[in-house]
Amino acid sequence: MFSTDTYKRRREVLQQNIQAKGILLFLGNIENPINFADNASHFRQDSTFLYYFGIQQPHLAAIIDLDENKTIVFGDEMSMDAIVWMGRQETLKEKCEKAGVVETRAYADLAIYLATAMSVKRNIHYLPPYQSFNKILLSELLHISIVDFKPSVPMIQAIVAQREIKEAQEILQIEEALKVSNQMHLLAMRMAKPGVKEYEIVSAIQNVAGSHNCELAYNSIVTINGGILHNHYKMNTLQSGKLLLNDSGCETPMGYASDLTRTYPVDKTFTPEQRDLYNVVLNSFEGAKAELKAGVKYKNVHLKACEILAEGLIDLGFMKGNAQDAVANHAHTMFFQCGLGHMMGLDVHDMEDLGEQYVGYTAEDPKNTKQFGIKSLRLGKELKAGHVLTVEPGIYFIPELIEMWEAEKKYAEFINYDKVKQFAHFGGIRIEDNFLIKEDGYQYLGPELIRTVAEIEDYKANN
C-alpha cells in the first residue's frame, strides 16, 4: 500500500471535485470461480477500489457519504473457521486504518445503509460493473434490473479526472513494472529460435514476472502470426524466416501495469523485406513519439503515425499516391486497423471499465465509432501533463481483409493489391512503449528496451 495520507488525500480530492450529492458506492472484486466455487482465479482487486482504499481483499465494498462526510468500508472479519483454514491475518480493521478509514461495518450492513438512504430518496452513485458477481450484487442492493443500470456520470468524470493524472509514486510503480517487463522481453528474444513453441516463451516470461511477485498485466500475445491483432493462440512452433511478435507486460503487486511490444526475427537477422517494413513501423513510432506533449490531441498523434506509415508503405510499393490523402481516405487501415495507443496505469487499458467516452474522449470531441480504423482508437483527447499512455504503431497483413477489400476494389487508388497479396502471410509488426506526458514533451518510462534493427540483431548475435 501507499501511505495512509495518499488514500485520505485521494478521497478528499474526489469529495471536493465531484459535482454531486448523495453516496458514492465502490464495489470491490471477488475471487471468480474457475470450474467450481472453491477453485478461484488469482484475486485482482477492482482498480478504482485500489486507488481510493488500497486494500487487496475479496468481498469488500465502501461508501463515501458526500452529505454526511463519512467513509465506511463494509466487509467481514475472519471467522475462527476461516482462521483455521487460511491462517490469522491482519484484520480488516487494521487494513482500513492503513487506508485512513476509521469506520468498518459488516458486509451485510451495506444493504441496510443503502436501503435507508434510498428510502429518503438520496442519490446512490455507482460505476459500471464489469464482473457478473457485482452486477448481481448491485441489482440486489439497488433493486434495479441488471439491464437498467445507470452508472453515475459525475462520479465517473471526477474519478477519471483524478486517476488520469498520475502521481510520482504511481510513475515509480509503472517503471517498476517496466523494469520486470524488459527482462521478460529480453528473455523472449533470447528464446526465439526455430523449433521453440510459442507457449514455452509465454510460460518463461510469466515466470520472469512471477519471480518478481508480479502477475502478467494481460494475456501475453507471443505469436509468429503477428498479423492477428489479439492472438492468444500459442501452439505454433517458431520457424526460420518468420517474425515473432511479443506483446506482454506485467503488473506490480500494487496493481500497476506495463505494456510493451517488440517484433523480431526468429532467425538471428531480419530478411530485407522484414527490415524494410520494420523500419516503416519504427519511423512511425519515432514520429509519433516526437509529437507527444501536453496540449496535443492524441488523435492527431495517431494520424501523424498513420501518415508516416503510409509514406513508408508508398516508398516500398505497397501503397501509392499521396500519404496524406491516403490517410484522409482511411486507406492505411488496410495495414493499420487499430489505434495508436491508450491510457495506462492501474489497468493496462486504464479505466476502460469506466467508459472510453470519458477516459479517451470528451463530450465536445467524441469518438468516431463508425469508421473502420479510427473507431478502434481508445484515446483521442487532448493530452495533459501526468497522462501515461502507450504508443504502438504497427503494420498487419490480414489475409481475409486483403481478399475482401481487393474483391471490392476498396481504396484501389491507394493500394497496390498485387504487391500486398504477396505479403498476405507475412504476419505483423508492432513496436510499443510507454510514456509520461510532460508540459513540454514526454518522458520515456522504464529502462530503454532495444528497438532498432541493429540493436536487435546485435543482441541476437551475442545471446
Site residues (CB under 8 A) for a second copy? 29, 32-42, 44, 46-47, 80, 83-89, 130-133, 135-136, 146, 197, 199-200, 202-204, 206-207, 209-211, 213, 218-219, 225, 227-235, 337, 346-349, 352-353, 398-401, 404
Q: Please, which residue, 398 or 456, has the CB nearer to a second copy?
A: 398
Minimum CB–partner distance for residue 451 and a second copy (Å): 25
Residue 166 CB burial class (10 angstroms; 0-12, 13-18, ≥19) = buried
Minimum CB–partner distance for residue 168 and a second copy (Å): 23
- What cell was used for 185? 522481453
| Residues forming beta bridges with residue 61, ordered by sequence position | 27, 74
> Using an 8 Å Cβ cutoff, are 199 and 220 in contact?
no
Minimum CB–partner distance for residue 120 and a second copy (Å): 27
Q: Please, which residue, 115 or 404, has the CB nearer to a second copy?
A: 404
Q: Please, which residue, 58 or 386, has the CB nearer to a second copy?
A: 58
For 81-109, what is the HEC assignment? HHHHHHCCCCCHHHHHHHCCCCEEECCCH
Amino acid residing at 263: T
Q: Please, which residue, 182 or 337, has the CB nearer to a second copy?
A: 337
How far apart, in whole angstroms, are the C-alpha atoms of residue 304 and residue 288? 6
DSSP secondary structure, 327-359, as one string = HHTTGGGGT--S-S--B-SSSSSTTGGG-HHHH
Q: Please, which residue, 345 or 393, has the CB nearer to a second copy?
A: 345
- Compute the Cα dihedral for 365, 167, 294, 181 and give only its sign: negative
Minimum CB–partner distance for residue 163 and a second copy (Å): 13
Minimum CB–partner distance for residue 340 and a second copy (Å): 16
Strand, coil or helix: 434:
strand
Please report how many Cα atoms fall inside a 13 Å half-sphere around the Cα of residue 235, on the Cβ side.
1
How far apart, in whole angstroms, are the C-alpha atoms of residue 50 and residue 28? 8
Amino acid residing at 288: A
Q: Please, which residue, 30 or 117, has the CB nearer to a second copy?
A: 30
Neighbours of 108 (CB within 10 A): 9
Minimum CB–partner distance for residue 46 and a second copy (Å): 7
Minimum CB–partner distance for residue 204 and a second copy (Å): 6
Minimum CB–partner distance for residue 200 and a second copy (Å): 5
| Residues forming beta bridges with residue 430, ordered by sequence position | 394
Q: Please, which residue, 117 or 191, has the CB nearer to a second copy?
A: 191
> Using an 8 Å Cβ cutoff, are 453 and 279 in contact?
yes
Q: Please, which residue, 202 or 327, has the CB nearer to a second copy?
A: 202
